[in-house]
Amino acid sequence: MPSSQNPPEKMMFQLTLRRRGISDQAVLRSMEEIPREAFVEVADRANAYRDSALGIACGQTISQPFVVAYMTEQLQLQKHHRVLEIGTGSGYQAAILSRLCSQVLTIERYRTLADGARARLRKLGCGNVEVVLGDGFDIPASAGSFDRIIVTAAMERIPEGLTQRLDPGGMLIAPVGPQQGVQTLVRILRTETGFERKELVDVRFVPALPGVAREL
Protein backbone atom coordinates (compact mmCIF):
# COMPACT_ATOMS: atom_id res chain seq x y z
CA MET A 1 0.00 0.00 0.00
CA PRO A 2 1.19 3.56 -0.62
CA SER A 3 2.75 5.30 2.34
CA SER A 4 0.73 8.03 4.04
CA GLN A 5 3.90 10.04 4.74
CA ASN A 6 3.97 13.52 3.16
CA PRO A 7 0.60 13.29 1.38
CA PRO A 8 0.87 16.77 -0.22
CA GLU A 9 4.28 15.84 -1.65
CA LYS A 10 2.90 12.55 -2.96
CA MET A 11 0.04 14.34 -4.67
CA MET A 12 2.47 16.77 -6.31
CA PHE A 13 4.69 13.81 -7.22
CA GLN A 14 1.93 12.23 -9.30
CA LEU A 15 0.86 15.56 -10.77
CA THR A 16 4.43 16.34 -11.82
CA LEU A 17 4.76 12.99 -13.61
CA ARG A 18 1.53 13.59 -15.52
CA ARG A 19 2.44 17.18 -16.39
CA ARG A 20 5.79 16.00 -17.76
CA GLY A 21 4.07 13.57 -20.09
CA ILE A 22 3.87 10.23 -18.28
CA SER A 23 0.53 8.80 -19.41
CA ASP A 24 0.78 5.02 -18.99
CA GLN A 25 -1.69 4.29 -16.20
CA ALA A 26 0.06 1.09 -15.12
CA VAL A 27 3.35 2.98 -14.72
CA LEU A 28 1.66 5.78 -12.78
CA ARG A 29 -0.05 3.23 -10.53
CA SER A 30 3.25 1.47 -9.84
CA MET A 31 4.90 4.81 -9.00
CA GLU A 32 2.02 5.51 -6.61
CA GLU A 33 2.13 2.10 -4.93
CA ILE A 34 5.87 1.89 -4.29
CA PRO A 35 6.91 4.05 -1.30
CA ARG A 36 9.97 5.96 -2.52
CA GLU A 37 10.83 7.00 1.03
CA ALA A 38 11.75 3.36 1.74
CA PHE A 39 14.55 3.56 -0.85
CA VAL A 40 16.29 6.81 0.11
CA GLU A 41 18.64 7.62 2.97
CA VAL A 42 16.93 8.39 6.29
CA ALA A 43 18.10 12.01 6.15
CA ASP A 44 16.46 12.43 2.72
CA ARG A 45 13.04 11.00 3.48
CA ALA A 46 11.45 14.42 3.69
CA ASN A 47 12.60 14.97 0.09
CA ALA A 48 11.65 11.52 -1.21
CA TYR A 49 8.88 12.80 -3.48
CA ARG A 50 10.71 15.74 -4.99
CA ASP A 51 11.57 15.30 -8.65
CA SER A 52 15.31 15.10 -8.11
CA ALA A 53 18.03 12.48 -7.80
CA LEU A 54 19.29 11.75 -4.30
CA GLY A 55 22.52 10.27 -3.01
CA ILE A 56 22.63 6.75 -1.61
CA ALA A 57 25.43 4.53 -0.28
CA CYS A 58 28.64 3.75 -2.19
CA GLY A 59 28.62 7.10 -3.98
CA GLN A 60 25.60 6.13 -6.08
CA THR A 61 22.22 7.80 -6.61
CA ILE A 62 18.53 7.03 -6.79
CA SER A 63 17.29 8.57 -10.04
CA GLN A 64 14.74 11.36 -10.09
CA PRO A 65 11.16 10.03 -10.24
CA PHE A 66 10.49 11.40 -13.73
CA VAL A 67 13.48 9.54 -15.18
CA VAL A 68 12.39 6.31 -13.48
CA ALA A 69 8.85 6.70 -14.81
CA TYR A 70 10.02 7.74 -18.28
CA MET A 71 12.43 4.84 -18.71
CA THR A 72 9.80 2.42 -17.42
CA GLU A 73 7.17 3.78 -19.79
CA GLN A 74 9.55 3.56 -22.75
CA LEU A 75 10.07 -0.16 -22.08
CA GLN A 76 6.41 -0.84 -22.98
CA LEU A 77 6.25 -3.63 -20.41
CA GLN A 78 3.77 -6.47 -20.49
CA LYS A 79 2.88 -8.81 -17.65
CA HIS A 80 4.66 -11.82 -19.17
CA HIS A 81 7.97 -10.04 -19.70
CA ARG A 82 11.24 -11.08 -18.10
CA VAL A 83 13.44 -8.05 -17.37
CA LEU A 84 17.15 -7.56 -16.71
CA GLU A 85 18.23 -4.47 -14.80
CA ILE A 86 21.88 -3.46 -14.61
CA GLY A 87 22.53 -1.25 -11.58
CA THR A 88 20.22 -2.13 -8.70
CA GLY A 89 21.16 0.80 -6.49
CA SER A 90 18.65 1.08 -3.66
CA GLY A 91 16.21 -1.20 -5.50
CA TYR A 92 13.64 1.47 -6.38
CA GLN A 93 13.61 0.93 -10.13
CA ALA A 94 13.38 -2.85 -9.64
CA ALA A 95 10.41 -2.37 -7.31
CA ILE A 96 8.62 -0.27 -9.93
CA LEU A 97 9.34 -2.90 -12.59
CA SER A 98 8.13 -5.71 -10.33
CA ARG A 99 4.56 -4.45 -10.53
CA LEU A 100 4.59 -4.48 -14.34
CA CYS A 101 6.24 -7.74 -15.43
CA SER A 102 6.61 -11.37 -14.45
CA GLN A 103 10.26 -11.44 -13.34
CA VAL A 104 13.13 -9.01 -12.71
CA LEU A 105 16.78 -10.01 -12.46
CA THR A 106 18.76 -7.04 -11.18
CA ILE A 107 22.55 -6.94 -10.97
CA GLU A 108 24.55 -4.73 -8.60
CA ARG A 109 28.35 -4.47 -8.24
CA TYR A 110 28.31 -3.15 -4.66
CA ARG A 111 27.53 -5.74 -1.97
CA THR A 112 26.21 -3.07 0.43
CA LEU A 113 23.67 -1.91 -2.14
CA ALA A 114 22.72 -5.42 -3.24
CA ASP A 115 22.08 -6.55 0.34
CA GLY A 116 20.12 -3.41 1.20
CA ALA A 117 17.98 -3.60 -1.93
CA ARG A 118 17.27 -7.29 -1.37
CA ALA A 119 16.03 -6.56 2.15
CA ARG A 120 13.82 -3.65 1.04
CA LEU A 121 12.29 -5.59 -1.83
CA ARG A 122 11.58 -8.58 0.41
CA LYS A 123 9.91 -6.33 2.98
CA LEU A 124 7.67 -4.83 0.28
CA GLY A 125 6.68 -8.24 -1.03
CA CYS A 126 8.44 -7.92 -4.40
CA GLY A 127 8.86 -11.66 -4.65
CA ASN A 128 9.44 -11.66 -8.41
CA VAL A 129 12.73 -9.73 -8.10
CA GLU A 130 16.09 -11.49 -7.80
CA VAL A 131 19.03 -9.32 -6.70
CA VAL A 132 22.45 -10.60 -7.76
CA LEU A 133 25.88 -9.29 -6.79
CA GLY A 134 27.79 -9.26 -10.06
CA ASP A 135 29.28 -7.51 -13.08
CA GLY A 136 26.78 -5.85 -15.39
CA PHE A 137 29.28 -6.07 -18.24
CA ASP A 138 29.63 -9.83 -17.83
CA ILE A 139 26.20 -11.42 -17.45
CA PRO A 140 26.49 -15.16 -16.76
CA ALA A 141 25.28 -17.39 -19.58
CA SER A 142 22.98 -19.15 -17.12
CA ALA A 143 20.91 -15.95 -16.83
CA GLY A 144 19.45 -16.61 -20.27
CA SER A 145 17.76 -14.02 -22.46
CA PHE A 146 15.28 -11.26 -21.72
CA ASP A 147 12.27 -9.45 -23.14
CA ARG A 148 13.53 -6.16 -21.76
CA ILE A 149 16.85 -4.79 -20.47
CA ILE A 150 17.23 -1.54 -18.55
CA VAL A 151 20.60 -0.03 -17.67
CA THR A 152 20.57 2.53 -14.86
CA ALA A 153 24.16 3.75 -15.13
CA ALA A 154 25.96 5.51 -17.97
CA MET A 155 27.73 3.41 -20.59
CA GLU A 156 30.07 4.93 -23.15
CA ARG A 157 28.72 2.34 -25.57
CA ILE A 158 26.30 -0.55 -25.29
CA PRO A 159 28.19 -3.86 -25.38
CA GLU A 160 27.17 -6.22 -28.19
CA GLY A 161 27.01 -9.01 -25.64
CA LEU A 162 24.20 -7.14 -23.91
CA THR A 163 22.05 -6.58 -26.99
CA GLN A 164 22.51 -10.24 -27.88
CA ARG A 165 20.68 -11.09 -24.64
CA LEU A 166 17.48 -9.62 -26.05
CA ASP A 167 14.82 -12.03 -27.26
CA PRO A 168 13.32 -11.33 -30.73
CA GLY A 169 11.12 -8.27 -30.34
CA GLY A 170 13.02 -7.41 -27.18
CA MET A 171 13.92 -3.89 -26.12
CA LEU A 172 16.86 -2.30 -24.26
CA ILE A 173 17.07 1.18 -22.80
CA ALA A 174 20.29 2.72 -21.48
CA PRO A 175 22.02 6.08 -20.95
CA VAL A 176 24.88 6.28 -23.44
CA GLY A 177 27.67 8.84 -23.41
CA PRO A 178 30.65 10.09 -21.45
CA GLN A 179 30.93 9.01 -17.83
CA GLN A 180 31.20 12.62 -16.70
CA GLY A 181 28.62 14.94 -18.23
CA VAL A 182 25.43 14.48 -20.22
CA GLN A 183 24.36 11.19 -21.75
CA THR A 184 21.56 10.35 -24.17
CA LEU A 185 18.93 7.81 -23.31
CA VAL A 186 18.97 5.24 -26.11
CA ARG A 187 16.33 2.63 -26.89
CA ILE A 188 17.26 -0.43 -28.95
CA LEU A 189 14.67 -2.79 -30.43
CA ARG A 190 15.66 -6.25 -31.67
CA THR A 191 13.84 -6.96 -34.93
CA GLU A 192 13.82 -9.91 -37.34
CA THR A 193 16.51 -8.20 -39.41
CA GLY A 194 18.73 -6.67 -36.75
CA PHE A 195 18.56 -3.79 -34.27
CA GLU A 196 16.75 -0.45 -34.45
CA ARG A 197 18.22 2.38 -32.39
CA LYS A 198 16.38 5.50 -31.25
CA GLU A 199 17.74 8.39 -29.21
CA LEU A 200 15.27 9.75 -26.68
CA VAL A 201 16.28 12.44 -24.16
CA ASP A 202 19.40 13.76 -22.46
CA VAL A 203 20.06 12.48 -18.95
CA ARG A 204 22.77 12.34 -16.28
CA PHE A 205 23.71 9.05 -14.62
CA VAL A 206 26.62 7.83 -12.55
CA PRO A 207 29.02 5.70 -14.64
CA ALA A 208 28.57 1.98 -15.18
CA LEU A 209 31.81 0.31 -14.14
CA PRO A 210 33.00 -3.24 -14.88
CA GLY A 211 33.68 -5.86 -12.23
CA VAL A 212 32.42 -6.31 -8.69
CA ALA A 213 33.44 -3.52 -6.32
CA ARG A 214 36.10 -4.40 -3.72
CA GLU A 215 34.44 -2.54 -0.89
CA LEU A 216 31.68 -4.43 0.84
| pLDDT tens, residue by residue, 118-161 | 999 999 999 999 999 999 999 989 999 999 999 999 999 999 99
Calculate Rg over the CA atoms of the chain. Answer: 16
What angle, rounded to 10 degrees, do the helices at 7-19 and 65-74 form? 50
Q: Is 3 a catalytic residue?
A: no
Query: Side chain identity at 178, as an amino acid letter?
Result: P
Confidence of residue 216 (pLDDT cuts 50, 70, 90): low
Write down the pTM of the prediction: 0.93
Q: 94, 39 in Cβ contact below 8 A?
A: no
Ordered strands of the 82-86 beta sheet: 129-133, 103-108, 82-86, 146-151, 166-176, 183-190, 195-203
Protein fold of 7-203:
Rossmann fold (3.40.50)
15, pLDDT greater than 90 = yes
Nearest to 41 by CA among 64, 65, 62: 62
pLDDT tens for residues 40-86?
999 999 999 999 999 999 999 999 999 999 999 999 999 999 999 99
User: 63, 90, 142, 145: which is the annotated catalytic residue?
Assistant: 63
Three-state DSSP at 136 gives: coil
